[in-house]
A and B are shown apart, each in its own frame.
Chain A
Amino acid sequence: MAEVTLNDVRKVYAGGVEAVKGVSLDIPDGGFCVLVGPSGCGKSTLLRMVAGLETISSGQVAIGGRVVNEIEPAERDIAMVFQNYALYPHMSVYDNIAYGLRNRGTPKDEIDRRVQEAARILAIEPFLQRKPRALSGGQRQRVAMGRAIVRKPQVFLFDEPLSNLDAKLRVQMRVEIKKLQRALGVTSIYVTHDQVEAMTLSDKLVVMSGGQVEQVGTPTEVYRRPETRFVATFIGSPPMNILPGLVDGDGRVSVGGLTLAADDLPAGLEPGRHVDVGVRPEEVEVAPAGAPGAPFAIDFVEELGATELLHGTLGGSPFVLQVNTGAVSPGTKAVTLAIPSRCVHVFDAETGKRLGRAESATARAA
């Protein structure tokens, strides 16, 4: 077991593309760190630098306190699960799993014991003699996992391991990966662009964009207090509504003539400053008839089963609201919304950075 430390890690590809622009991270021993971000933001590049599959342009990667920049992948004591599984097609499942042990000269009976154990944990014993092409996607995924756990490495690296599975299987394997990681206690870094996967798996969530880290925190912290507009819209589904607005005074913003209270807005900002106001669709409620609130005009409704999404306009901007099915009777054209002041996020219109109170930021860091 080991902690993984990244210190100002950069990657510039041969063509001059700067894929990773100085990332520093601490992943504690046994931690489950998920790197999430849109396509092309450098997640895979960062992971592959930890694996030793890409050279590190500058900065340091340390595993278990040992700087591994110049160390071969084989000597880093890591295992990696690839998006396409990278199973050796000409070898049986057994040989696929045993390959890494054989390369390290593990005795035969020890190999057999460990392969059988891994196969038992992953429930792939019936397929050990088959070739990978004779397996379903989910079974291949398990074999890839088997190949990783059989060596008992210090770190697991996953690069979008579930993205080739169908939605149902993905949910099932997600739970299994989490259980397995808990049971084995192996430090893990997991790359995905699926924010639900990111939220459910991680105990340390790293949101990346354009080669940089936007925010690091527990999934709840990131969800509750997004540090940038990008994180706010990236984490959460359906995404957070962003409305253009102005600072209206201490703790208040105005959006298209509506005034909203925002708890986290620091005092002393000049009124009239342009801001982006973020409100999550699921944190707003429909106010009882006659109660004060923000008028919301409904355009159309998307039914999701237990909940429904109301699309419409609020203060002149498009807005989405998520409510329990039946909370608004069909055919309703306008409702009044109660927007809790603790759920109003304010971002600088230009930089996209959160305009938040310093004390809550320090409280978070502590």
Chain B
Amino acid sequence: MEMNKDELISLYRQMLLIRTFEDKSAEMYAKAKIAGFLHLYNGQEAIAVGALSALHSDDELVTHYRDHGYALARGIDSRFVMAELYGRETGTTGGRGGSMHIASVEKHFWGGYAIVGGHLPLAVGLAYANVHHNTGRIVLCVLGDGSTNIGTFHAALNWAQLWHLPVIFLVENNMWAMGTAISIHSSVIEIYKKAAAHEMYAERVDGKDVLAVHDAVCKLAERARSGEGPSLLEAVTYRYRGHSMADSDVQRSKEEINEQKQRDPLTMYLTNVLLKRNLLTDEQESQIHHEVEAEVDEAVAFADASAEPALDTLYDKIYAQPVANMQIDGSLIRPAALYTGNGTHG
């Protein structure tokens, strides 16, 4: 898909927004505004931005827990994402899910999922639903290299291929699964080759090259849309930070990380494409920087100003359809009759 100048600039802006957002999140984590697991996306920005720019805005998106980049690239308001990291009522899931479970079903982002491989069958089912309802929408399912060894990976690929469903499995191969290097965790280093076990079409792309990712996903989306079935795309990349903010990252060498930073997706795109083709001036570039920083500052201010979810909403939405005599007493779901009878309970 040819992109015009504005679209090309927008790719850069989105990547910069993600990087700035992630750096700010790390800062807020250090300040204990954010807790638990926080998996940052620094270094991998070109994949989310390249992939989503190749899809329709109503194509279905399902990702793993490293999901902020996808949320922002899908156009979810950065204030709501930051508020979710804070666990506030204005967050994308009202403080229920946190960092690993950002979602906006309205924008066809069905969420980040935190059980390795657990979301792959869901993506296949979602693809089925779209075929069943003849919507023409396809599904992008994002996972890491470490998620290609678990049973659901193979079960999902087999099923998707067997039923010929419109889903793209996008593997972000950042060479590490938590603290385990790919050579230690996988018998196959070139991950895309695993698709061959299911006779699924697969490709490998430079995950640091946003335009290459964009082109690859365009092609695979076209395949899926025209009824040629599922595919797998391996995007080779690297993450700059530890697995999560809880990771001391002693297992990776400084040399390895520094070497990877020599091929930075943002810098490469800025210098080799935008500046080289005179699509952007230095002034415009610093203007974008200012805007992005202001947006992220605003997101933090918004999260800081937002309230925690109200305690009396604790039991909300456990069931979509509560049954007739289900009532809450603070610790258990009990029949309503309990409260009208003359039991010994207070």
Q: Do A and B come from one complex?
A: no
Q: Could you list which residues of chain A lie within 8 angstroms of chain B, going by C-beta atoms?
A: none
Residues on B lying within 8 angstroms of A by beta carbon are: none
